[in-house]
Amino acid sequence: MKEDQEFQCLREELNWLCKLHCEQIYKVINIVLVTWGGVIYFLGAIVAKLIETGQNVNDIRTVFIISCFIGAVIFLVSNEILFILARKYYNVANDIFERGSYILVFHEKRPSKNFKMGEDLCWESVTFDIMNPNINKKYDEYTILNLISLVLILILSGVSFLAARITFDIMYIFPSFCVVFLIRSIYLFITVRKNTSSMNYYRMRVNHLKKYFQYALETGYYTPDDIKDKFGDFYERCNQYLQNSITPK
């Protein structure tokens, strides 16, 4: 009875994590698009005001450079938001595979000719069997949004430098900061990509499976023969994949 309760709690937690994992991307898109919309509105309002009031060239240049700086700050903030949410995305995915691996090792039996589906839970073991270790996501919304924001900071940095080069005065401080923002955004882009589109789901799953298999063997919950009878070559495949893997994740 206690084992059934544990399994039910794990399934409920796993379902919640899967739902969170799926819903998060829509929240990310909304947050970033609202942030970008604020930048576009702000810059557009500044330009319209300058044209309307007929300011002199130097005043227009000064306001334009400061506006580019503020825009770059906001785009950097959106990249920082993406960075934080990408880490959350990675952690949720890791939690999903950890819970699933635990369920596989301690609550499942691999389907076979002598074992029918429904006698015990089999979804995680079946998923592991059919999951291709060489296929991962090639892109996702996090990486695309981060890349667009990075390009926009690059554009703002370039045009603000062009505007400041005429005066050679203190206004160069603002474009210089934009370059710092650009460098920071490049780092954030690389990190976001590692935590989303370049994440190796298969390796993450295998690491957790191996961890729980080793724990079960060390505590005597399973013997090597038990694992072979119940899971076939799962344990050997995990070890072989990790040994042959070139890029740890």
Over the stretch 47-58, which tens digit does the pLDDT of each residue have? 677 667 666 667
pLDDT of residue 43: 75
Per-residue model confidence (pLDDT) at position 34: 83
Query: Average pLDDT by consecutive 10-residue portion of the chain (249 residues)?
Result: 70 82 78 81 74 67 82 89 89 88 84 65 76 64 88 89 71 85 93 87 87 90 85 78 57
Give the pTM: 0.78
Instruction: Give the pLDDT confidence of 80-136 residue by residue, as tens digits.
Output: 988 998 898 899 889 988 988 888 888 887 777 666 666 667 777 777 777 766 665
Amino acid 181: pLDDT: 92
The one-letter code for the residue type at 43 is L
Q: In this predicted structure, what is the pLDDT of residue 248?
A: 39
Return the pLDDT at 247. 42
Contact in structure between 93 and 24 (CB atoms under 8 Å): no
